[in-house]
Structure 1
Amino acid sequence: MRRFIGRDRELRVLHNVFQGVRDAVGTAKPGQCVLMRGRRRVGKSSLVEEFLRRTEVPNLFFTASGGTAEDELTELLDAVARSTLPERELFAEETPGQWNAAFRLLAEMLPDDTPSVVVIDEVPYLMERVDAFEGMLQRAWDRLLSRKPVLLLLVGSDLSMMEALNSYDRPFHQRGREMVVGPLNPADISEMLELEPAPAFDAALVTGGLPLICAEWRPGADVWEFLRDALDNPISALLVSAERSLSAEFPPQAMSREVLRAIGSGERTFTNIARAAGGIAHTTLTRATEVLTEKRVVAAELPLSLRPSKERRYRVADPYLRFWLAFLDPHMAEIERMRGDLTLSRIKERWTSWRGRAVEPLVRESLARLLPDAALPAAPAIGGYWTRSNDVEIDVVGGDRQPVARELLFLGSIKWLETAAFDSHDLAALQRHRAALTDDPVPLMAISRNGIDCSGLAAAYGPEALLSAWRKPS
């Protein structure tokens, strides 16, 4: 069994909150609540399980399943029976038939003189299926649960609904502190899979940092060894995780699925997405992109420059889902009939061009964590720049704000190739594009997978430097 990798910051946050509960035992309101959100399969439940294992205190872990209010209540009763709460038999004796009664009874059975933890996972299901759930939760917390030394963890995968739970116009507003759980970062992946920096970024693009997928990657294996193994296994997490996540969020008949496939195939502009999605109506596409961006599945971006632009572009936000949509989803029938070798050949043919664009958001995020350094300042906003015709395209633009900056702090180019270094031709192209964007001598920088072979740059970064940014304490 692999050791638990990463999540040091998240475990530290949970421990600190729990310590606050422990220190407040005997006061009027020692209870604390944390609203934990993160995309499906990023390992929220595993994180909570590890936290419970380390704290070793009485706890209840209940996971909603998306059933009716009555079914969910039945599942809660079963979870209580399997919990380590000392008074759990009270539930079996009284069998509450309503959620208000269940919350009341839960509060009664929590210890008064020792801390405990109550976890409610997949809270958005309860928000959808149980009438007035948020109001009942708020009353139970204010009047009962917060008066016990309990850490209440409310966990959910629907990011927009979890954010709404704490919004100012909702009953539970300001009753819990928010915590976001992201995927494993490139440094975690490098450690877990025993990979050097450049291959670690490849692994991040393919797995998206999802722990279940990373767990199938043999330590030290390169991306092609992993893909060969995964494509030979019809129940591999690489193959099935995306479909399970999408099915939970979007019904198969939803137009959002078709729009997502169009964006995943590489289309980035509104017009091209509409065409690739079957020529759907403008209003239908607008609503679908709104849903996808609200759920953080798709990112809608504008060029970062000194002037306003309407050239909005869309991309799949999650690297793993982006890989799955581009290479696996269109060929699942081929993979299921054990011809993953054909799929693998197709990936190899397109890998260099696909990776070159897919790595851009990860590079920008790495730079945001890395800077400032001796060569470049920190940038409040890091994005890219493009024109409608793509005759000018700049991979990295650092500015004081976005999308319309008052000041440009640096411009950069990303060259993410196996063998070719960033050379004088690449620098000349970057200088031309700078001249098209601004007359100011904005510093130029380069990010290269395989080194720099020219002079005249203010700064240059490779995989090692980018990976080090993720090892900084945060």
Structure 2
Amino acid sequence: MVAFVGRKQELGILDGLLTEVRNTASGAKPGQCLLIRGRRRIGKSSLVEAFVERTGTPAVFFTAAGASEAVELEAFADAVSTSALPEREVFADALPGNWSAAFRQLAGVLPDDRPSVVVIDEVPYLMDRVDAFEGILQRAWDRELCRKPVLLVLIGSDLSMMEALGSYGRPFHQRGREMVLGPLNPAEVGEMIGLDPPAAFDAALVTGGLPLICAAWQPGAGLWDFLAAQLGNPVSPLLVSAERSLAAEFPESAMAATVLSAIGSGERTFTNIARAAGNISHSTLTRATETLVDKRIVAAEIPVATRPSREKRYRVTDPYLRFWLTFGRPYLPEIERLRGDLVLNRVRVGWASWRGRAIEPLLRDSLARLLPDDHLPSASVVGSYWTRSNNVEIDVVGADRALIARELLFLGSIKWLENAAFDDHDLVALQRHRTAVTDAPVPLIALSRAGVQTTGLHAAYGPADLLTAWRR
């Protein structure tokens, strides 16, 4: 299936848990629970649906919708009564009055002699709307559900709430294992679409590795053909995915959405974000950025160095969302008038500049996954360094620990242009910046799309090298 390229590890985890359930079916507590979290539209539900379909195990799949408790209970009863579970007719005959009764009734229809799967999707809606839902779930699991040969899968898109569900001090702590489902990585995107390494990184930036958007990319098609088709269609996945995700993330928080737009447009410092968001107050911006960071939509970063720094900067974590905020959202009226060609021209003009900044976090992550190799040691953190005035900016800094490093392991520069190699001029600039942060002969490296035309570097990495980090 197209949407599950690269999901072999996750499917293997699900298979392994179901095998545990099957092998301990005769035990006192054979049940297993898995908590899956990941950003919206990342493919969490589709992954579990594919797993259930592949195994052929009796299953019930319920998706909460943020409605009232009575409406959710009715939907849950309908999901069970139309499932493949034995004795499911019980739910058609008697609607439970609360969630404690619903889970107790569910345990009664789960088979005792073979495995089954129960999936509750969008659990944070229930946590938010149902009083003491976590305690209800914990009691149902401890008293009834875990005594059945069942795999209970709890799915959620609100990352902070899903983390809290299994955290210390909460009722469901240590009841389930956890899986974080991320986007398709650059190697998987390239494999899915049939692209060479440089193009695979470009595709990963534009699609964010979201399976639904990747599936709309015709295999072997180039970036500009893909963008022309997507921008020419007002309801294309590239245009509607972000809008739907943000509407679900911020149904009542307009200020967080405004601040996100300011960061997505390229503003990185607190002062500039406040100005771009309409000169909002310090306290308002603080609350908004905390919301965005808690939801993992925005990252708040500080320079990696051996001395403390207060120069915090913000960035949108999802490159696809960053692309949409820059080239999609501001020009939706033109796209709706079927003038996507005008937007495409803007992308062409701004592409090199936008990509040059947007690619940096992805390449640093690639390098961190690649190391150690024959040239460099493993680094606990691979980040970057900057000063308030930006007179010193170092794209890649490898260090032994985050916050305040004891030792800098390597420094590097990123040059990601099609036809401009990393040359002597770039090396001299990198050497000059090294002297601004350390007197030690820290190794210098380059990450370059078009290769290297200089000597004096400790190591150099191109698209093919960095893509191998994601194939391990």
TM-score of the two chains, using structure 1 as the length reference: 0.98
CA distance in 1, matches of 2:161, 2:2: 33
* 1:386-440, Cα deviation, whole Å (9 max, x unpaired): 0001000000000001121000000010000011101111111000000101000
Shift of 1:153: 0.2
Shift of 1:18: 1.2
* 1:57-79, Cα deviation, whole Å (9 max, x unpaired): 10011000111111111110111
User: Counterpart of 2:269?
Assistant: 269
Q: Helix, strand or coil for the counterpart of 1:274?
A: helix
User: Within 5 A, what are the aligned runs for 1:36-55?
Assistant: 36-55=36-55
Letter in 2 for 1:184: L
Q: Helix, strand or coil for the counterpart of 2:346?
A: helix
User: Counterpart of 1:198?
Assistant: 198
Letter in 2 for 1:164: A
Q: Does residue 457 of structure 2 align to residue 446 of structure 1?
A: no
User: Within 5 A, what are the aligned runs for 1:11-410?
Assistant: 11-251=11-251, 254-410=254-410
Q: Helix, strand or coil for the counterpart of 1:406?
A: coil
User: Counterpart of 1:466?
Assistant: 466
Letter in 2 for 1:73: L
Shift of 1:252: 5.9
CA distance in 1, matches of 2:391, 2:326: 25
Shift of 1:95: 1.8
Consecutive unaligned residues of structure 2, counting only runs of 5 or more, are none
Give the stretch that moved more between structures: 87-96 or 218-227: 87-96
Aligned length: 472
CA distance in 1, matches of 2:17, 2:177: 10
Shift of 1:169: 1.7
CA distance in 1, matches of 2:4, 2:411: 39
Consecutive unaligned residues of structure 1, counting only runs of 5 or more, are none
* 1:188-228, Cα deviation, whole Å (9 max, x unpaired): 10110000010010000000000010010001111111000
CA distance in 2, matches of 1:167, 1:2: 34
CA distance in 2, matches of 1:237, 1:461: 33
Task: Call closer, same or farther: CA 1:252–1:167 in 2, change over 3 Å.
Answer: closer
Q: Helix, strand or coil for the counterpart of 2:314?
A: strand
CA distance in 1, matches of 2:162, 2:362: 25
CA distance in 2, matches of 1:445, 1:45: 41
Shift of 1:253: 5.3
Letter in 2 for 1:33: C
Shift of 1:136: 0.7
CA distance in 2, matches of 1:83, 1:423: 63
* 1:147-172, Cα deviation, whole Å (9 max, x unpaired): 00000000000000000001112111
Does the 8 Å contact 2:81/2:90 carry over to 1?
Answer: no
CA distance in 2, matches of 1:169, 1:13: 26
CA distance in 1, matches of 2:194, 2:49: 25
CA distance in 1, matches of 2:35, 2:121: 10
* 1:107-142, Cα deviation, whole Å (9 max, x unpaired): 010000100110000000000111111111000000
* 1:353-400, Cα deviation, whole Å (9 max, x unpaired): 110110000001101110000000000011000000100000000000
Shift of 1:16: 1.0
CA distance in 2, matches of 1:62, 1:94: 18
CA distance in 1, matches of 2:2, 2:411: 41
Q: Which runs of 4+ in 1 moved over 3 A?
A: 1-4
User: Counterpart of 1:10?
Assistant: 10
Q: Helix, strand or coil for the counterpart of 1:385?
A: strand
TM-score of the two chains, using structure 2 as the length reference: 0.99
CA distance in 2, matches of 1:253, 1:97: 32
Letter in 1 for 2:231: L
CA distance in 2, matches of 1:2, 1:254: 35
CA distance in 1, matches of 2:326, 2:169: 40
Q: Helix, strand or coil for the counterpart of 2:235?
A: coil
Q: Helix, strand or coil for the counterpart of 2:410?
A: strand
CA distance in 2, matches of 1:362, 1:14: 28
Letter in 2 for 1:158: D
